[in-house]
Amino acid sequence: MDHSLASASSSTPPVRTGPRDPGDAWVEGDRGRFWGRFGAAGVLAYDPAKGVLLQHRAVWSHNGGTWGLPGGALHEGEDAVEGALREAWEEAAVPSGNVEVLFRSVLDLGYWSYTTVVVLVTEPFDPVISDPESIELLWIPVAGVESKELHPGFAAAWPGLRERISTPA
């Protein structure tokens, strides 16, 4: 997202600045309303020494206050892995050179899809809050993820993702 900087813990969204991408739009269908005309994608970064990187979402955002993944709307024609890594860089300074893609998991509703790109951290890094959508970015041990109030989409996906992360290919 492209905003002027504002407090992530405020209850009002910051004013948008800069050009908007055509992908930055809501889509609606029988399963509800979702962000991203061309779908959305996020990165689940897994560092075996620290756990998974979660983003505490700004209060004003959709499902504000919950914990989820750095990610967002895909651009037109953008590959989901590319888009997820772009968003994770923009929102959390996840360096694509420090991770290796393990697998992608797709929720496809027909009119909207969400791709979770699961990456293994090959070179440790510290995330940086670089977008007003984050209140906090934290490495959470795998066993502790469920104790957080999770974004509903991530909460639904987490048990399956956890299983795949814990089972070496």
List residues near ligand 8DG by CB under 6 A.
1, 24, 34-36, 40, 42, 61-62, 68-69, 71-73, 87, 107, 114, 116, 133, 151, 153-154, 157
Question: What does R_g of the chain's alpha carbons equal in angstroms?
Answer: 15
Cα–Cα distance list, 32 to 35, 64, 109, 131 (Å): 10, 17, 10, 26
| CA separation for the pair 155, 149 (Å, rounded) | 9
We find the least distance from the C-beta atom of residue 51 to ligand 8DG, in angstroms, to be: 16
Give the nearer residue to ligand 8DG in terms of CB position, either 28 or 123.
Answer: 28
Task: Output the DSSP codes for 37-67.
Answer: TT-EEEEEEEETTTEEEEEEE-TTSTTTTSE
| CA separation for the pair 150, 117 (Å, rounded) | 17
We find the least distance from the C-beta atom of residue 48 to ligand 8DG, in angstroms, to be: 21
We find the least distance from the C-beta atom of residue 123 to ligand 8DG, in angstroms, to be: 24
Cross-strand bridge partners of residue 134 = 57
Are the C-beta atoms of 49 and 34 separated by less than 8 Å? no
Give the nearer residue to ligand 8DG in terms of CB position, either 89 or 125.
Answer: 89
We find the least distance from the C-beta atom of residue 102 to ligand 8DG, in angstroms, to be: 16
Give the nearer residue to ligand 8DG in terms of CB position, either 14 or 71.
Answer: 71
Give the nearer residue to ligand 8DG in terms of CB position, either 12 or 49.
Answer: 12
Give the nearer residue to ligand 8DG in terms of CB position, either 44 or 99.
Answer: 44
- Quickly tell me which residue has 């813990």 as its tokens: 9
We find the least distance from the C-beta atom of residue 62 to ligand 8DG, in angstroms, to be: 5
